[in-house]
Amino acid sequence: MAGGRGERFWPQSCAATPKHLLPIVGDKTMLAQTVDRVAGVVPRENIFVLTTQAQLDGCRTASPGLPAGNVVAEPMGRDTAAATGLAMLLVKERSPNAALAMLPADHVIHDTVEYRQLLTVAFEAAESADVLVTLGIKPTAPETGFGYIEQAGPWKTIAGRPVMTVKRFVEKPDGETAKGYLASGRYFWNAGMFVWRVPVVEAAFKAHAPELYAGLAKMEAAAVKAAGGWSKALPEIYPTLQKISVDYALMEKSTNVVVVPATFDWDDVGAWPAIAKHFTPDAAGNVLRGLAMVENGSGNIVVSDDGHLTAVVGANDLVVVHTPTATLVVPKDKAQEIKALLKRLADDPAKKKFL
Amino acid sequence: MAGGRGERFWPQSCAATPKHLLPIVGDKTMLAQTVDRVAGVVPRENIFVLTTQAQLDGCRTASPGLPAGNVVAEPMGRDTAAATGLAMLLVKERSPNAALAMLPADHVIHDTVEYRQLLTVAFEAAESADVLVTLGIKPTAPETGFGYIEQAGPWKTIAGRPVMTVKRFVEKPDGETAKGYLASGRYFWNAGMFVWRVPVVEAAFKAHAPELYAGLAKMEAAAVKAAGGWSKALPEIYPTLQKISVDYALMEKSTNVVVVPATFDWDDVGAWPAIAKHFTPDAAGNVLRGLAMVENGSGNIVVSDDGHLTAVVGANDLVVVHTPTATLVVPKDKAQEIKALLKRLADDPAKKKFL
């Protein structure tokens, strides 16, 4: 899944170059890193990238070794349940009983070895029973920005790794609730990483999202069983699909969900301040990328590419990002306020070009 | 006098484009504004600009209507006493008994009418007696960044304006002393604006700075009375002149000094934070120049030219200046720390080009 707008990384990210098409952390784009990571488990010819029209070229460039046809653009965003349905149909067309993983393309995972182990366990779990498998992240803080997965108890051990049954999916909690989840030891963060066989997820659509299922069936008939194929079916039918998240449409309602506790590092790098932990800071605790300097300051993140010098003097805990078109200055603890700025840009015909 | 480095306005100011060659306040460069201001009192052909080799072309461009030969470059900076001596010799060559004004080219004065009145009064004072005339600025705060002039009492009234005798020139005081100066009502800021006749200032050099006087006499002989003229005399002799300020060499030691109390507005615009009072802020109290935006912040100064967007989000009282080559972010109350940054740039061969 590589269709996000990544507006929280403005001004580096924009409509055509969102977070997963940038080397926010590391030298390659986050999509390329994701493809490389998965390619250790899944042959490249079986990796699909779902993206948007605006990002189609960028995603093809960032997906080395993938057939161009495996990079598929949604005609418009219809949330994650429709994307899940599209992925299911693309795989079903090739192999009706195959297992597939749904994975976000903009997360940072450094421990590739452990990741591939756990992804393999998840595939084996999905192939061993009619279950919806999810990879759950062990919480390290009472985060209120993620949904949570409550486990019910042991289900199986696969390749020496425990897999748990799931009691429930819960949406983003408030701070107090999140603290309780963390303390209980029974909850995982929902990182949106799922593995299932085509017939199992199809049955879940049929049982829990019948309206969306009907739309998907219609699209399958138009694409696979009629003339014109996907190039006709996608623009005609995809935009009519129900717009709903996969968590709400399937996961919260299904009773056959299991969770593989993820033992690799994981970070969704939600905004600029989150990049700090992926870089070695200077002696004063500043993260400097490109031609960036800090004089008498600490805790700053300064990103300055293309030979432009960006200097912070006498200030702490700022994010300063310079690109050839725009510069952002925001205190780390105010990074969420970028959204209000971007709304003002979107509403101003003269400044819209900076998005 | 247009030879300052203006490093306090980095990154807009640099060696070839210092403060007086920038439109820091207003649409014209500060030098052009100064020339226009003086031109109401002194014919353009009698206005000289003293500058550096690096700024010679810039100063000629910024001095419309002045003969190119009136823009003179010092071969190297030798402080204000040597510059004063050079100015004296340049005027003496044309008119041995003329009165001349020494004026900085990087101050902001909006009230041009009153300025011209007072400059005329200063010229009349200088022509009426053998005195060194200075224009003194009425202090509005206990500033520690300026030298002060203590008046001794009334001297004359010229065109209805009082002119006072001067008791002493004093160097930059500490905070307590400055408060006492302000409270006494007897002190003026020394803005470095002087008017005197050639023979009077020459006598002052002879009496109080004999070493420098000897050097000036030698340069005069080489330039005016020998072949080769200034183009030979300046590079040969100017670099050997004693390096000393005019305040220390002449003003602190002379007993024939009078002061014209300046009744026009005056600002030396010493650093970025000082530009705020010359612009109308937005509703939240931010000064925005060029394509600059502030979202949820106040008291910021944001300067962004050349079509580049610079946005400050959730921060107060910052100075953010973007130029095509460099960007500066500094809290207003830390602006003096730019000097440490510029020293680091000067010491780094790879970054020296940003000065």
Count of Cβ atoms closer than 10 Å to residue A75 Cβ: 13
Summarize pLDDT for B47-97 with one digit per residue, the tens. Answer: 999 999 989 999 999 998 999 999 999 999 999 999 999 999 999 999 999
CA A159 to each of CA A41, A115, A118, A266: distance values in angstroms, whole numbers, following the listed order? 15, 14, 9, 21
Summarize pLDDT for A84-142 with one digit per residue, the tens. Answer: 999 999 999 999 999 999 999 999 999 999 999 999 999 999 999 999 999 999 999 99
Among candidate residues A14, A104, A7, the one with its CA nearest the CA of residue A51: A104
Angle separating helix axes A210-224 and A198-208, nearest 10 degrees: 130
Beta partners for residue A132, in sequence order: A257
Q: What are phi and psi of B217, to 5 degrees?
A: -65, -40
**CA gap B250, B4 in Å, rounded:** 21
Q: Does B312 touch chain A (CB under 8 A)?
A: yes
Looking at residue A224, what is its pLDDT?
83
Tell me if A354 and B309 make a contact (CB, 8 A cut-off).
yes
Please give the residue of chain A at the shortest CA–CA distance from B329: A312
- Evaluate if residue B26 carries a pLDDT over 90: no
Residue at A84: amino acid letter: T
Looking at residue A306, what is its pLDDT?
87
**Phi/psi-derived region of residue B285, left when phi > 0, alpha when psi is between -120 and 50, beta in every other case:** left
Q: Which of B295, B309, B327 sits opposite A351 (nearest CB)?
A: B309
Please give the residue of chain A at the shortest CA–CA distance from B354: A309
CA A302 to each of CA A55, A275, A331, B308: distance values in angstroms, whole numbers, following the listed order? 26, 11, 11, 18
Spell A26-42 as b/e; 16+ CB within 10 A means b.
eeebbbbbbbebbbebb
Looking at residue B27, what is its pLDDT?
87
Q: Does B310 touch chain A (CB under 8 A)?
A: yes
**CA gap A347, B14 in Å, rounded:** 37
- Evaluate if residue B16 carries a pLDDT over 80: no
Tell me if B329 and A315 make a contact (CB, 8 A cut-off).
yes
Count of Cβ atoms closer than 10 Å to residue B73 Cβ: 20
Among candidate residues B87, B24, B23, the one with its CA nearest the CA of residue B51: B87
Looking at residue A259, what is its pLDDT?
98
A22: tokens are 């940038």
CA A345 to each of CA A15, A337, B297, B304, B338: distance values in angstroms, whole numbers, following the listed order? 13, 13, 16, 16, 31
Q: How far is B13 from chain A (nearest CA, A)?
A: 15
Looking at residue B306, what is its pLDDT?
87
- The larger pLDDT score, comparing residue A33 to residue B25, is at A33
Beta partners for residue B254, in sequence order: none
A240: tokens are 């009519």
Cβ atoms B194, B125 nearer than 8 A = no
Tell me if A327 and B338 make a contact (CB, 8 A cut-off).
no
Residues of A in contact with B314 (CB under 8 A): 330-331, 334, 337
**CA gap B243, B230 in Å, rounded:** 20
Q: What is the DSSP letter of A149?
A: E
Q: Which of A308, A312, A344 sits opposite B329 (nearest CB)?
A: A312
Cβ atoms B106, B20 nearer than 8 A = yes
Summarize pLDDT for B180-189 with one digit per residue, the tens. Answer: 999 999 999 9
Summarize pLDDT for A292-303 with one digit per residue, the tens. Answer: 999 999 999 999
- Domains of chain A, each with CATH number or no CATH: 78-262 (3.90.550.10), 272-354 (no CATH)
Q: Which residue has the tokens 């084996």?
A: A124
Cβ atoms A82, A238 nearer than 8 A = yes
CA B253 to each of CA A325, B85, B102, B172: distance values in angstroms, whole numbers, following the listed order? 56, 16, 18, 16
Q: How far is A344 from chain B (nearest CA, A)?
A: 9
**CA gap A79, A3 in Å, rounded:** 10
Q: What is the mean pLDDT of residues B111-137?
A: 98
Outline where B95-141 has alpha helix (H): 112-128
Summarize pLDDT for B186-228 with one digit per residue, the tens. Answer: 999 999 999 999 999 999 999 999 999 999 999 999 998 778 8
Residues 6+ apart with CB under 8 A from B163: B121, B125, B133, B154, B155, B156, B157, B258, B259, B260
Q: Is A56 exposed, middle or buried (0-12, 13-18, 19+ CB in 10 A)?
A: middle
Taking the CA atoms of B207, B212, B218 and B221 in sequence, report the sign of the dihedral they define: negative
Average pLDDT over chain B, rounded to whole?
A: 95
Residue at B165: amino acid letter: T
Q: Is B236 exposed, middle or buried (0-12, 13-18, 19+ CB in 10 A)?
A: middle
Collect the ranges in chain A with pLDDT lower than 50: none
Residues of A in contact with B295 (CB under 8 A): 337, 340-341, 344
Q: Is A274 helix (H, G, I), strand (E, B) or coil?
A: helix
**CA gap A175, A143 in Å, rounded:** 7
Angle separating helix axes B210-224 and B198-208, nearest 10 degrees: 130
Q: What are phi and psi of B77, to 5 degrees?
A: -70, 130
Cβ atoms B277, B264 nearer than 8 A = no
Mutation target vs B (from A272, A302, A309; most B CBs, 10 A cutoff) = A309
**CA gap B293, A330 in Å, rounded:** 12
B161: tokens are 């304006």
Looking at residue B116, what is its pLDDT?
98
Please give the residue of chain A at the shortest CA–CA distance from B352: A309
Strand order across the beta sheet in which A301-304 lies: A287-290, A301-304, A318-322, A326-331, B309-313, B292-295
**CA gap B219, B226 in Å, rounded:** 10
Report the range of poorest mean pLDDT among A340-354, B1-15, B164-178: B1-15
**CA gap A173, A150 in Å, rounded:** 13
